[in-house]
Structure 1
């Protein structure tokens, strides 16, 4: 708009001036005047119809709106950015490194968008789940609430987009690898501590992130310890960071906390035989492990790698053993070619390859795929070294365990905590 009295800068500009009684607006000189208009009145203006504002599409509750409808331009929110520390701090300000990242980003842009797409699905579904989950709900109902949300929001499409691994709902002294099988009647109790571990993938780019729910405030210090330990692991991670040193920092943070239960004080321990891990294409657990205790591992993190920084704290012995009915499985990534004599095992392997590839699955997912009476064939695939089973992992009876986890991306200039949200 040009201010009144200013000259237009070019012929395309329009001067807007109020009409004065008896005068015509200077930009209306060539227009015919209404001959029957009463003296002293200008031409009546037509009333403009109010334009309807488009209502911005929002996520439903429960989450069922596909993310592509909420982000039609295909660009998804960037995660939390953290500068590298110490010897790598120069990466953030280096003009050369920033230039190289811009050049590399052109090639990596699609990969970044896939990861951020999966991360935004994770945020929306888990935040709805955190509001929704309450004591008295069955484990099956909770798992299906989360998984139905992931499938809808990611717009599940075979191996192109979907759930990356079974939803973990491990309770109390069970630290990981529990999800309900068909017929499981377990119900969430008010005194339970539940780890919720959710995986989402887009084009094989996996976001792995977990949190812990406790409705009894007795265990708030345990959750605080594990959340702080995970944040420490994220802060210490970076290009050229040594895995053993990251573990030492995690352990120091974790074990500075204690929990009082019924008048007795329990130190919080890092679970020594669990770890975080690198994430690779269609492979949740990559080749590198990120310990949560001090080790002599001198392996370094490298530019461009993706890691799940997860920590587990316990009021028990700080070590887990596998036990109980198994629910989690995955086809071994580089499984050997073994001749299968059982027709049922061949058929089941075809179902696994078609629906899950190298992504983890559970027995409920096989049920959903239409498989029946498959346990003998599944155990045969495990025995042949084609499929790996992951039984539930337990600390000492009576102890409590907690977990927090985020996925990070080691970009050339900064690390991006892709799964970070307002909730954790």
Structure 2
């Protein structure tokens, strides 16, 4: 990983630059499709590539909503909006999220998530237990009178791999793992109101997919789309709207890749009791002598 630190840091700088313009992009009544496209295009304009489709989570939607082709959904009045996006440079990922809140009564959710993130990051160094970070996050969140989402976690990352096997809890837990030198981690507290269930469940089918079978499909048209997705995204998540204009019969070809199990879809994740959620997220690179917050 050491030889890739420069790429991780560069990806983080781009993500940080995009973070600064997100609040100008997200507007009440604004098109969610335009938000997704503006964020993804900003990433490219700064010299990176999206590590996954821009996620826009409105109110009780926690994760994995990105606009489908011709999405007509807009940001409702008085809503709370999570914008989660990633940048990669040669597969080295920066994952970050901000919450844009239009409901003053929910400001405490945003503050709780942001403070929990900061306190967690301050405590990270080689050898610190993942469970210690979960305890810090939950204790901070509950001091604000709200509740963490217990089944959403931070995660380790590798090249071209957003979820690399390690989960960083957002609640007290028995997790014997420890932060390791040369590790890359996304830390992401999610908060909700005290009377919420505090857990996410699968919602509607999403528009985020990932290649899971790297063997070529049999059909020639499917093979062409497979090659295009593999060359642009490899094993990173993607959305059909990135490729729809490359084929006249795109829908049929795409369905054939689903049928042959070359690609996996991610469902939208929603809070079980329909309550609003806030999120804050940064990426950290842990070395022997330092912890780099790449996305700040």
Determine whether 1:319 maps to 2:196. Answer: no
Aligned to 2:268: 392
Q: Give, in whole Å, the separation in 2 of the partners of 1:386 and 1:300.
A: 34
- Counterpart Cα distance in 1 of 2:170 and 2:155: 11
Count of residue correspondences:
294
CA contact (8 A) 2:25 2:38 kept: no
Task: Determine which of 204, 214, 217 is the counterpart of 2:104.
Answer: 217
Q: CA deviation at 1:195?
A: 0.5
Assess, with a 3 A threshold, how the Cα gap between structure 1 residues 380 and 230 changes in structure 2: closer, same or farther.
Answer: farther
Structure 2: 5+ residue runs without aligned partners? none
RMSD: 2.0
Which runs of no fewer than 5 residues in structure 1 stay unpaired? 1-106, 155-160, 259-267
* Alpha-carbon offset, residue 379 of structure 1: 4.6
Instruction: Pick the aligned partner of 2:23 from 130, 134, 137.
Output: 130
Q: Secondary structure at the match of 2:281?
A: strand
Q: What is the aligned counterpart of 2:135 among 248, 255, 258? A: 248
Deviates more, 1:370-379 or 1:113-122: 370-379
- Aligned mates of 1:379, 1:298 — CA distance in 2: 42
How far did residue 348 of structure 1 move?
2.6
Cα shift at 1:375: 4.2
**Equivalent residue for 2:154, pick from 276, 301, 304:** 276
After superposition, the C-alpha distances for 1:12-71 in whole angstroms (9 at most, x for unaligned) are: xxxxxxxxxxxxxxxxxxxxxxxxxxxxxxxxxxxxxxxxxxxxxxxxxxxxxxxxxxxx
Q: Which structure is richer in relative contact order (CA contacts within 8 A, separation 6 or more)?
A: 2
Give the TM-score normalised by structure 2. Answer: 0.92
Query: Residues 344 and 374 of structure 1 are in contact (CA less than 8 Å); yes or no, is this contact kept in structure 2?
Result: no
Structure possessing the higher radius of gyration over alpha carbons:
1
C-alpha displacement at 1:372, in angstroms?
A: 4.7
Take 2:257 and 2:173, find their aligned partners in 1: how far apart are those partners? 34
How many Å apart are 1:336 and its aligned residue? 6.7
Shift of the 295–382 alpha-carbon distance from structure 1 to 2, 3 Å rule, reads farther
Task: Report the equivalent of 1:117.
Answer: 10
* Aligned residue number for residue 295 of structure 2: 419
Question: Who is 2:283 aligned against?
Answer: 407
Q: 2:261 & 2:140 partners in 1: Cα distance?
A: 38
Give the conservation status (yes or no) of the 8 Å contact 1:119–1:200: yes
Residue 365 (structure 1) shift: 1.2
Tell me whether 1:143 sits opposite 2:30 in the alignment.
no
Q: How far off is 1:184 after superposition?
A: 1.1
Could you tell me which of 78, 90, 113 is aligned with 1:191? 78
Q: Quick one: which of 46, 50, 61 aligns to 1:174? A: 61
Aligned to 1:360, which of 196, 214, 237? Answer: 237
What is the distance in 2 between the residues matched to 1:371 and 1:180?
19
Q: Which among 330, 342, 359 is matched to residue 210 of structure 2?
A: 330
What are the superposed Cα offsets for residues 281-328 of structure 1, whole Å, 9 maximum, x if unpaired? Answer: 111111211111122120121101110011111222111111213111
Contact preservation (8 Å) 2:217, 2:226: no
Post-superposition offset of 1:381: 3.6
Take 1:241 and 1:385, find their aligned partners in 2: how far apart are those partners?
39
SS at match of 1:389: strand
Q: Which residue of 2 aligns with 1:230?
A: 117
